[in-house]
Amino acid sequence: MTTATREEFTFQTEIKQLLNILSHSLYQNREIAVRELVSNASDSLNKLRHIQLSEAEYRDDAPLKITLLPDATAKTLTIVDNGVGLTREELIENLGTIAHSGSLDFMKKAAEAKAGTHDSDSSGNKSDLSLIGQFGVGFYAAFMLADTVEVITRSYREETGWKWTSDGTGQYSIEPVDEAPRGAQIVLHLKEDAIDEFTKEYRLESIVRRYSTFVPHAVYVGEKHVNNQPPIWVEPKSQVTPEQYKSFYQWLTHHANEEPLWHLHLSADSPLQFQSILYCPPVNLELQGFGRLEHGLTLCAKRILVQDDNKDLLPDYLHFVYGLVDSADLPLNVSRETLQDNRLIPKLRKVLTKKVLDYLAELAEEQPATYAKFYEQFGMVLRGGVGVDFENREKIARLLRLASSHDVTPGATTSLGEYVKRMREDQTQIYYLGGPDLASLLRNPHYETFRDRGLEVLFLTDPVDEFALSHLQEFDGKSLVSIDSADIQLPASAESPSSSTTGEEQGGSSQIAPAGFDRVLEIFRQALGERVQDVRKATRLATSPVCLVNPQGSMSSQLQKVLSQTVKDFNLSRRILEVNPQAPLIGRLATLSSSGTNDDFIADCGLQLYASAMLLDGLVVEPDLTADRMRKLMEEAADKRTVIIT
């Protein structure tokens, strides 16, 4: 018999806010309250099972189970488990403060939904509140159904129990009780409008089937065992119906009414024994403004849950994959802590990663439309793997989809494999160019010669793709080069349609430079000084007067631009200014250079052409000097026009 008496406590402020949202705004989602309470009961049974495995004194013969007991007369629904239970301190700590991520996450989403920041869900047309059901609301969901909630509990470590009571407004009380079986009974004193629905056994059965079929413990409604299906991941693929795959997905993800984009059912016996079902959701919630999802994979040992959010079983660039992995090679009493040192995990990760990447390659080949949908949603995450997973980078590179000059229809993409198939026989490099959008890339001076010679260029409008390709360096034995770099080698077979654009270095006929061209180069060189590494005759321009080339081995312009915006004190590499002797402006400057009086004007043109070329790469240099020079050049041009008129 305990001597302590009833004590009153006040909820943490965040809980008061949470309770307020729950009891008012989620009427249509309130069946998830049952899911949350069953899930908590299941967690508690998992904890007890783990303790029983390692500590003999807590073992007994009672089967672990969860029971839902509706009582229409008492207007209650009670969820009973014989798990670990809670001590008085645990009641205060766990049910009086928000210390766990699920409820906090929920609060954030609910606040966003209220503010109308998101207006569509995964299917693109329902209210955002349905999305909220995907986040663990936790124990407080009980107040969606109940006016008053009682928790009668006894911890496995104690002889006597406790009763926690609250009406969900601001306070709760705790008092000792003598008679309490081990575990917890959550008694929901149902709200008037919930009594009818949540005291009907058939209704509760259907909720349990919908949300809790795969809970790894027996769930009863009254006397009836409701979730008595075998775990589908241990069944042969041929025995599992599409409906079962779907409901397992919905159970794992909490994404009610959603079908996965694809699933992968794996089974292996040696050298590793495991079964697994992996799923890809149809949409990437991270693209819809939700923060990074941290779900991980569910890990089981011989069908018994070990961890429900293991993030070591797949690399980060596959973190969008949901699923379950069950291995008989894993000891049952393994804990989160000892798992980190378990040598099986890296082995499983290696196999699972390979299987997912192989499956994606197969999907791309056999169901290109589904793969395109997948890539649209998750390509941005996947491609990050090129830079971090050395072992699989070629496999990931094969999965990339990029825009290309081969087909410039907006949205059209190609793969590196397809590019290589279209390459000329004597082409040794894969060409790419980064820029802000397709329209600017098509107008980029560097592209001119490739366009004229019919050489395909990959257009990278997202710097992440460029980072991926620059990490990759090579694909299928061909080096990947940005066409604004000096490392470019054009195939001899790609003779320009007009011999004038074929450069000396490429083995074509040399461009005939007008008299005075060398003098122009000299004046440009002097004017630009340290700004550039060199000024030289262009070998790759058709009509533009100049272009800036990145010296051998340095980063592409686009990457430098991104880094200069993000890295403090980033030094742009000095580039080479290539001057096109065939451009009318350069021809005219060459003629003017015969008289020394035009040197200043030619120097100004050189500086201005350099500033404009940098501008095309999105970089603004010396804005004050550039603006002054522009004004001066315009004044000169205006004066000339005045002379002509008068």
Ligand X SMILES: Nc1ncnc2c1ncn2[C@@H]1O[C@H](COP(=O)(O)OP(=O)(O)OP(=O)(O)O)[C@@H](O)[C@H]1O
Q: Is 182 annotated as a binding residue?
A: no
> Which tokens is 629 given?
């020079």
Q: Is 94 annotated as a binding residue?
A: yes
Give the span between the Cα atoms of 254 and 258, in whole angstroms: 9
- Closest CB 146 distance from ligand X, rounded Å: 14
Per DSSP, 528 falls in state H
Q: Is 137 annotated as a binding residue?
A: yes
Choices 56-64, 136-144, 321-329, 496-504 (CB under 6 A): range interacting with ligand X: 136-144
Give the span between the Cα atoms of 514 and 181, in whole angstroms: 100
Task: Identify the residue among 94, 327, 496, 558 touching ligand X (CB under 6 A).
Answer: 94
Considering only residues 349-378, where is the footprint of ligand X by CB under 6 A? none
- Closest CB 304 distance from ligand X, rounded Å: 18
Choices 68-76, 92-100, 217-225, 242-250 (CB under 6 A): range interacting with ligand X: 92-100
Q: Is residue 434 at the binding interface for ligand X, with CB under 6 A as the rule?
A: no
- Closest CB 47 distance from ligand X, rounded Å: 8
- Closest CB 204 distance from ligand X, rounded Å: 17
Give the span between the Cα atoms of 212 and 248, in whole angstroms: 9
Task: Identify the residue among 33, 49, 113, 138 touching ligand X (CB under 6 A).
Answer: 138
Residue number closest to ligand X, CB atom? 102
Q: Is 81 annotated as a binding residue?
A: yes
Choices 54-62, 100-108, 236-244, 271-279 (CB under 6 A): range interacting with ligand X: 100-108
Give the span between the Cα atoms of 66 and 212, in whole angstroms: 11
- Closest CB 215 distance from ligand X, rounded Å: 13
Give the H/E segment covering residue 346.
helix 344-366
Q: Is residue 485 at the binding interface for ligand X, with CB under 6 A as the rule?
A: no
Residues 6+ apart with CB under 8 A from 404: 412, 413, 414, 419, 456, 457, 458, 459
The residue type of 157 is R
Q: Is residue 103 at the binding interface for ligand X, with CB under 6 A as the rule?
A: yes
Q: Which is nearer to ligand X, 35 or 446 (CB)?
A: 35
Q: How far is CA 119 from CA 130, 253, 611, in A?
A: 11, 21, 44
Choices 101-109, 275-283, 531-539, 596-604 (CB under 6 A): range interacting with ligand X: 101-109
Q: Is residue 187 at the binding interface for ligand X, with CB under 6 A as the rule?
A: no
Give the span between the Cα atoms of 45 and 182, in whole angstroms: 11
- Closest CB 278 distance from ligand X, rounded Å: 22
Q: Which is nearer to ligand X, 185 or 404 (CB)?
A: 185
Q: Is 526 annotated as a binding residue?
A: no
- Closest CB 39 distance from ligand X, rounded Å: 7
Choices 76-84, 269-277, 338-346, 585-593 (CB under 6 A): range interacting with ligand X: 76-84
Could you write out the DSSP letters of every residue in 186-204? EEEEE-GGGHHHHT-HHHH
Q: Is 101 annotated as a binding residue?
A: yes
What is the SS3 assignment for 218-270? EEEECCEECCCCCCHHHCCHHHCCHHHHHHHHHHHHCCCCCCCCEEEEEEECC
Nearest CA among 353, 359, 283, 263 for reference residue 314: 353
Q: Is residue 602 at the binding interface for ligand X, with CB under 6 A as the rule?
A: no
> Which tokens is 250 given?
């919905």
Sheet holding 478-482, edge to edge: 403-404, 457-460, 429-434, 478-482, 474-475
- Closest CB 147 distance from ligand X, rounded Å: 19
Task: Identify the residue among 6, 59, 100, 157 touching ligand X (CB under 6 A).
Answer: 100
Structural contact between residues 46 and 81, judged by C-beta atoms closer than 8 angstroms: no
> Which tokens is 498 given?
């007009």
Q: Which is nearer to ligand X, 135 or 467 (CB)?
A: 135
In terms of phi and psi (left: phi > 0; alpha: psi -120 to 50; beta: otherwise), the region of 257 is left
Residues 6+ apart with CB under 8 A from 113: 127, 128, 129, 131, 132
Q: Which is nearer to ligand X, 97 or 117 (CB)?
A: 97
Q: Is residue 102 at the binding interface for ligand X, with CB under 6 A as the rule?
A: yes
Q: Which is nearer to ligand X, 182 or 319 (CB)?
A: 182
Task: Identify the residue among 31, 81, 448, 452 touching ligand X (CB under 6 A).
Answer: 81
Structural contact between residues 41 and 184, judged by C-beta atoms closer than 8 angstroms: yes
With CB under 6 A as the rule, give the number of residues binding ligand X. Answer: 19
Task: Identify the residue among 70, 83, 168, 281 touching ligand X (CB under 6 A).
Answer: 83
Neighbours of 17 (CB within 10 A): 15
Q: Is 29 annotated as a binding residue?
A: no
Angle between helices 242-253 and 201-212 (to 10 degrees): 90
The residue type of 395 is K
Q: Which is nearer to ligand X, 67 or 353 (CB)?
A: 67
> Which tokens is 464 given?
């992440």
Q: Which is nearer to ligand X, 306 or 607 (CB)?
A: 306
Considering only residues 1-60, where is the footprint of ligand X by CB under 6 A? 40-41, 43-44
Pairing of strands 478-482, 161-166: unpaired
Q: Which is nearer to ligand X, 97 or 543 (CB)?
A: 97
Q: Is residue 136 at the binding interface for ligand X, with CB under 6 A as the rule?
A: yes
Q: Is 102 annotated as a binding residue?
A: yes
Q: Is 493 annotated as a binding residue?
A: no
Sequence ranges of the binding site for ATP = 36, 40, 81, 94, 101-102, 134-139, 336
Sequence ranges of the binding site = 36, 40, 81, 94, 101-102, 134-139, 336
Q: Catalog residues that contact ligand X under the rule CB under 6 A.
A: 40-41, 43-44, 81, 83-86, 94-95, 100-103, 136, 138-139, 184
